[in-house]
Chains A and B, each alone.
Chain A
Amino acid sequence: MTTSSIGLVEAEGLRKTYKSDVRALDGITFTVGAGSVYALLGPNGAGKTTTVRILTTLSRPDAGGARVAGVDVLKHPARVRSLIGAVSQHTGAVDLLTGRENLAMQGSLYGIRDKDLRRRVSELLDQFGLAAAAKRQVRTYSGGMRRRLDIATVLVHRPAVLFLDEPTTGLDPEGRAALWAVLTDLAAEAGTTILVTTHYLDEADQHATKIAIVDRGRIVAEGTADQLKAGLAGDSVLVELGTAAHAERVTAVLSQLPQVARATADGSVVRARVADGPRALPAVLAGVESAGIPVLSVSVARPTLDDVYLHHAGRSFHQAEGI
């Protein structure tokens, strides 16, 4: 293993179809640089979890391959397991054991013993603010505490790569912020490579070094948040109307305008893609006026990840989520 491959994650052409004929992955290829925070962003069912399961040796692809820290996940799964830490969507901690016991059990599995183990466990308990709760059974922990314990647990052996599947789901905003602080620090200070899946656009936007947008088992766009947004020329004009029916009608009208590249309705809001927001605004307003529909508000927005998703996946993120 060369130094350069430590922490590198490479997936190539991953395909997987489940027995039920659901095509989960339709050719996923990406590379995560060592020490970076890489976000797989997509709605539920996009294939994020399946990708993580393959990379963490839980599942096997029908086609394609992957290397984690330079090791082939299909040929040497056991070696990969000793190099990674993986946090699944569920907690992963044993309820009836205390926080300290959970950490000690994980460490023992890796062959860390006695004094080394006690020191490492105490270190992690301090680091994740769990020292005071160390002797309490995990079933008494709050959601945020459990999440912190989950991450602490898979860090016992100082893995080169950390995988987290939807780590912030179910946490309150403070919990999410605290968790992201942990992750970005881990990457920055310890050089741990972090691959995280999320369906929160804002999280990926703020915290990820690089984002891959996953839709229907494929990566439809990849880059830094800024790159992705810059790839979309122009602005969005958002027109808020009273009802979804109004929004549909306004969408039809705006689509006819030469200034509007594309108009889509998302609930009672119409989003019109234009080259230059401020200059297109009068024409958009005139269009809505001509339809005789009352407008609640109008705003011009620089492209967001939502726009990026819409552009590449052909539907808005909320529609894809089925909310």
Chain B
Amino acid sequence: MSTDRSIAKSEPSLSASTPDLARTEADRAEILPLSAESARDGEMSRAYSWRTASPVRQAWVILTARHLRQLYRMPVVIFMTLIQPVIWLLLFGALFKKVAEIPGFGGGNYITYLTPGVVIMTAMFSASWTGMAYIEDMGNGVMDRFLTAPVGRGALTAAMLAYQGLTTVLQSAIIVAIGWGIGATFPGGAAGIVTLIGVSVLIAVAMAGISNWFALLTRQREALIGASTTLVLPLTFLSGAFLSLRLVPGWIADIAKYNPVNWAASAGRIAVQAHPAWTTIGAYSGFLALAVTVTAAAATLAFRSYQRSL
């Protein structure tokens, strides 16, 4: 019955609304013709209620796609994230050229040594800014809109991590290509390079989790910038990213053992060598995966703290 009525009701208005098409946008904004459409809204209101997309679909298709699209529209950001590792490679490559000749370093080409380190450091650097997207979303109401819609908190976290993982794959691949272009060699071949990119994704996602967690807790741009710059460089220098740990002071080598950045840098460097020690790589990757789990959980739980402060 009610369906019949609604169809009958909407028909005359359909023809009546045709002249609207000729109107300018401003005109329509003034008048905002609603009656026909809205009457149908009322009839159909139950059709969409209770429905939500699955969390996996929400995270991957909808939210990750959104961030990728945004990135695509900020070419300057893409350019900056690519130019940065090039500077690192050229600068450190020139600065520490002679390092490879120091007895105990193991010989070889420093660019070959440096490239995996720069891959890991760049992955971390980019990921440490992930929380900025949350802070921006909180500031302009996008976060509130997601949180008042049936979007899972886990889906929000997963979207950010997936986005960060995907961009890291591209970024790392490009750095490897640039390293190769300026003289790095990868005796381990394709399997080694894929593994290097894989561990760079792990460290990036773990770092992105921390960044998101921190953003939800502090909600301040400045705090996140401070934390990122304070954390990333020391963690990098407390690892074998730039210099063999056999040449650094004992206490740094000791700390490096517990430093996820060193796990990633070591695993990545071993992987591209001629005869990779896969058990060592496996162990480091396992630790990194554990770090990812912990930081992702922390980032998801942090929504509670954020909402409590509202």
Interface presence of B144 (CB below 8 A): yes
What is the bound-complex CA distance between A86 and B151, given in angstroms? 14
Decide: B49 and A157 in contact? CB cutoff 8 A: yes
Question: Residue-by-residue, is A83-125 near B (CB-CB < 8 Å gives 1, otherwise 0)?
Answer: 1101011111111110001000110111110000000000100
- Given the interface pairs A82-B49, A96-B74, the reply to whether A123 lies near B141 with Cβ below 8 Å is no
Task: Please tell me which one of the listed residues A96, A133, A182 contacts residue B70 in the complex, with CB atoms under 8 A apart.
Answer: A96
Bits for A178-209, please: 1 = Cβ < 8 Å to B, else 0. Answer: 10011001100111100000000000000000
Which A residues touch B38, using CB under 8 A? 127, 185-186, 189-190
Contact A182 B49 (CB under 8 A): no
Known: A58-B307, A86-B148, A157-B51. Is A108-B69 also a contact (CB below 8 A)? Answer: no
Q: Say whether B50 contacts A79, CB under 8 Å.
A: yes
Q: Are B41 and A56 in contact (CB under 8 A)?
A: no
Within 8 Å of chain B (Cβ to Cβ): is A257?
no
Check B51–A158 contact: CB distance below 8 A: no
Contact assessment for B144 and A88 in the assembled complex, using a CB-CB cutoff below 8 Å:
yes
List which A63-85 residues lie within 8 A (CB) of chain B.
Answer: 78-79, 81-84
B140 near A185: Cβ-Cβ < 8 Å: no
B132 to chain A minimum Cβ distance, whole angstroms, is: 14
Chain B residues touching A, majority SS:
helix
Minimal beta-carbon separation of A276 from chain B (angstroms): 42
In the complex, residue of chain B having the shortest beta-carbon distance to the beta carbon of A89: B141
Comparing B27-35, B120-128, B197-205, the segment that makes contact with chain A is: B27-35
- Range, interface on chain A: 35 or more
CB distance from B170 to the nearest CB of A (A): 19
Contacts of A185 in B (CB 8 A): 32, 34-35, 38
Contacts of A57 in B (CB 8 A): 147-148
Q: Which residues of B contact A89 (CB under 8 A)?
A: 141
Render B117-152 as a binary contact track against A, CB cut-off 8 A, 1 for contact.
000000000000000000000011110111111110
A58 in complex: contacting residue of B26, B31, B42, B310, CB < 8 Å? B310
Selected contact of B49 from candidates A58, A158, A174, CB within 8 Å = A158
Q: Does A259 contact B (CB under 8 A)?
A: no
Q: Could you say which of A53, A92, A110, A190 contacts B52, with CB atoms under 8 Å apart?
A: A110
Contacts of A126 in B (CB 8 A): 28, 37
- B140 to A90, Cβ gap below 8 A? yes
In Å, the complex CA distance between A19 and B34 comes to 44
A129 contacts B by Cβ under 8 Å:
yes
Answer yes or no: A154 CB below 8 A from chain B CBs: yes
Residue pair B61, A108 in contact (C-beta under 8 Å): yes
> With a CB–CB cut-off of 8 A, which chain A residues contact B308?
59-60
B3: CB under 8 A from chain A?
no
How many Å lie between the Cα of A144 and that of B52 in the bound state?
29
By beta carbon, the residue of chain A nearest B26 is: A129
Q: Judge whether B142 and A94 touch: CB under 8 Å.
A: yes
Per the bound structure, the CA–CA distance linking A19 and B307 in Å amounts to 13
Asked if A137 is an interface residue, CB under 8 A from chain B, the answer is: yes
In the complex, are the beta carbons of B53 and A93 less than 8 A apart? no
Task: Report yes or no: A133 in contact with B25, Cβ–Cβ below 8 A.
Answer: yes
> Which residue of B29, B69, B309 is within 8 Å of A178 (Cβ)?
B29
A160 adjacent to chain B (CB < 8 Å): yes
- Chain A minimum-CB-distance residue to B61: A108
Say yes or no: A160-B49 contact (C-beta < 8 A), given A59-B307, A127-B33, A185-B35.
yes
- Evaluate whether A189 and B34 lie within 8 angstroms (CB atoms) in the complex, with A81-B148, A108-B61, A109-B62 already known: yes
Q: Is there a chain A Cβ closer than 8 Å to B44's Cβ?
A: yes
Cα of A106 to Cα of B31 in the assembled complex, Å: 25
**Chain B residues with CB under 8 A of A88:** 141, 144-145
Q: Does the CB pair B41–A190 fall under 8 Å?
A: yes
B277 at the interface (CB under 8 A from A): no
Q: Does B140 contact A95, Cβ atoms closer than 8 Å?
A: yes
Q: Which of B6-31 contact A (CB under 8 A)?
A: 25-26, 28-31
Residue B257 at the A interface, CB < 8 A? Answer: no
A129 in contact with B145 (CB, 8 Å): no
Contact A189 B148 (CB under 8 A): no
Q: How far is the CA of A145 from the CA of B147 in the complex (A)?
A: 23
* Cβ distance B7 to chain A, nearest Cβ, rounded Å: 16
A131 contacts B by Cβ under 8 Å = yes
Residues of B within 8 A of A160 (CB): 45, 49
B157 interface residue (CB < 8 Å to A):
no
* Interface assignment of B97: CB less than 8 Å from any CB of chain A: no
B112 at interface by CB-CB < 8 Å: no
Instruction: Let me know if B29 and A129 touch, CB within 8 A.
Output: yes
A86 to B35, CA, bound (A): 22
Whether the pair A131, B25 counts as a contact (CB closer than 8 A) is yes
**Residues B49 and A83 in contact, CB atoms below 8 Å apart:** yes
Indicate if B275 sits at the interface (CB-CB under 8 A): no
Chain A residues with CB below 8 A from B44, complex form: 158
The reply to whether B37 and A127 contact each other, CB–CB distance below 8 Å, is yes
Q: How far is the CB of B30 from chain A (nearest CB, A)?
A: 6
- A144 cross-chain contacts in B, Cβ below 8 A: 29
Please name the 3 residue pairs, one residue from A and one from B, whose CB atoms are nearest each other, closest first: A90-B141, A189-B38, A129-B29
A-B contact pairs, 19 of them (CB 8 A): A81-B150, A82-B50, A83-B50, A90-B140, A95-B140, A96-B70, A96-B73, A108-B57, A109-B52, A109-B146, A111-B51, A128-B32, A174-B30, A178-B32, A185-B32, A185-B35, A189-B35, A190-B38, A191-B42
Given contacts A108-B53, A110-B150, 10 further A-B contacts (CB under 8 A): A59-B308, A82-B50, A93-B142, A96-B70, A105-B62, A106-B145, A110-B52, A153-B145, A158-B47, A182-B32
Q: B-contacting residues of A (Cβ < 8 Å)?
A: 6, 19, 53, 56-60, 78-79, 81-84, 86, 88-97, 101, 105-106, 108-112, 123, 126-133, 137, 144-145, 148, 153-155, 157-160, 174, 178, 181-182, 185-186, 189-192
